[in-house]
Amino acid sequence: MDINTPTGLLAGLSPAAFMQKHWQKKPLLVRQALPGITPPATRAELTRLAASEDVESRLVSAFDGQWALRQGPVGKLPPFSKPGWTLLVQGLEQHVPAAYELLSRFRFVPEARLDDLMISYATDGGGVGPHFDSYDVFLIQVHGQRRWRIGRQPGAVLRDDVPLKIIANFETEQEFVLEPGDMLYLPPGWAHDGVAIGECMTCSVGFRTPWRAELARELLQRLMDDEDEPRSNRIYTDPREPATLTPGLVPEALLAFARDAAQRALDEPLALERALGEALTEPKPRVWFDPGQPLAEGQGVCLDRRTRMMYDKAHVFINGESYRAAGKDAQLMRRLADARGLSAADLERLSEGALDLLQQWAEDGWVRIAV
């Protein structure tokens, strides 16, 4: 993708212009962003996926004005003729090639921010109520019609009588009816309410927005897990601790030991970079890989659609693991992460060690022979 070339996907804006003008700033409605689009999965396929324990799904209904939420697996759905319910299936790109291809159209955003593609199947009147997300989202209509109402809602108040995060004081600023092929981009915090007009399907491409505390907790845990100091230096000792009249007071020496332990982990060269890359590429809990086949000579490779691969100046990260990389091998591994594939000619340029590593990834199912 040329990030400086205008594209119909973004209403004639180039990806670079879209990121500058709209990303995390203001909504964008794109009529016929994807003309001729068809649903990436059929109703029957979604029903099967929702019933699986390996797939994250939810069933939301508002029968007789009573909101209800059921977490998956969802073994039985309401009748398709009954209005007012919605089936949500997360991570569709992990299970359906067409969903993976649709998600790949948005790789002008860094892989570290890309989360997944969710599909919403709804009967007439179905929806999840007015709400807001803390992340960027592209809402793509792939079947039927859905009416969207959106608005800035700085003083949003959530209802406390329903099992969903529904805004009680939602106010509409703009309203659109999306047809198949239409797309609506919303930045974080924009309240929105989508209601199906007849049977419809909507795909949502969502992006990660890690909270500072959540990210710090994850990174510190990984940093401490990686600590390789001698055991004698890792255990707190207090041979000079005096008797105390204030046993509830945290000893200063223990506080200093804790501060030193955290600082040592942060000061380790490239430790933070390694921990971040491993955290960003860690597969989600329900993601698993089928054993793969050995690489064939004279053929290219591609990443499995469930594989997350990234890199920084010193490392290559894949599915929660990190490897130091430099020189020609690093260039080719970075190409694999960016393009999600390498040609047979590229493989011939890899060192023996890098080829062995790629072979292991293939056997683990992370990398597959390109078709």
Q: Determine contact, residues 108/169, Cβ cutoff 8 Å.
A: no
Give residues with Cβ within 8 angstroms of 86, minimum separation 6. 59, 60, 61, 120, 121, 122, 123, 126, 127, 128, 196
- Higher-scoring residue by pLDDT: 284, 71: 71
Alpha-carbon distance of 103 to 221, in angstroms, equals 31
Q: Determine contact, residues 124/83, Cβ cutoff 8 Å.
A: yes
- Higher-scoring residue by pLDDT: 150, 294: 150
- Higher-scoring residue by pLDDT: 248, 317: 317
Alpha-carbon distance of 278 to 201, in angstroms, equals 34
Following DSSP, what letter does each residue of 121-164 receive, concatenated? EE-TT----SB--SS-EEEEEEEEEEEEEEEE-TT--B-SSSSS
Q: Can you tell me the mean pLDDT for 278-284?
A: 93
**Model pLDDT for residues 203-255, shown as the tens digit of each residue:** 999 998 777 888 888 887 888 776 555 544 578 788 888 888 888 888 888 88
Following DSSP, what letter does each residue of 338-354 receive, concatenated? HHSEE-HHHHHTS-HHH
**Least confidently predicted of 189-198, 227-236, 348-357:** 227-236
Mean pLDDT, the chain, integer: 92
Alpha-carbon distance of 115 to 103, in angstroms, equals 10
Give residues with Cβ within 8 angstroms of 194, minimum separation 6. 120, 127, 128, 139, 146, 147, 148, 202
Interior angle at CA 117, CA 303 and CA 158, nearest 5: 145
Helix (H, G, I), strand (E, B) or coil at 120: strand
The reported pTM is: 0.88
State residue 226's pLDDT score. 64
| Domains of the chain as residue ranges with CATH | 8-207 (2.60.120.650), 220-280 (no CATH), 282-369 (3.40.366.30)
State residue 198's pLDDT score. 97
**Model pLDDT for residues 49-106, shown as the tens digit of each residue:** 999 999 999 999 999 989 999 999 999 999 999 999 999 999 999 999 999 999 999 9
DSSP-H helix ranges across the chain: 15-21, 43-50, 97-104, 212-225, 231-234, 252-267, 271-281, 327-339, 344-348, 352-364
State residue 238's pLDDT score. 82
Which pLDDT band holds residue 304 (cuts at 50, 70, 90)? very high
Helix (H, G, I), strand (E, B) or coil at 302: strand
Alpha-carbon distance of 91 to 86, in angstroms, equals 16
Backbone angles phi, psi at 278, to 5 degrees: -65, -40
Lookup: tokens for 262: 């955290």
State residue 232's pLDDT score. 43
Q: Can you tell me the mean pLDDT for 126-148?
A: 96
State residue 239's pLDDT score. 81
State residue 233's pLDDT score. 58
State residue 268's pLDDT score. 80
Give the type of residue at 315.
H
Give the type of residue at 35.
P
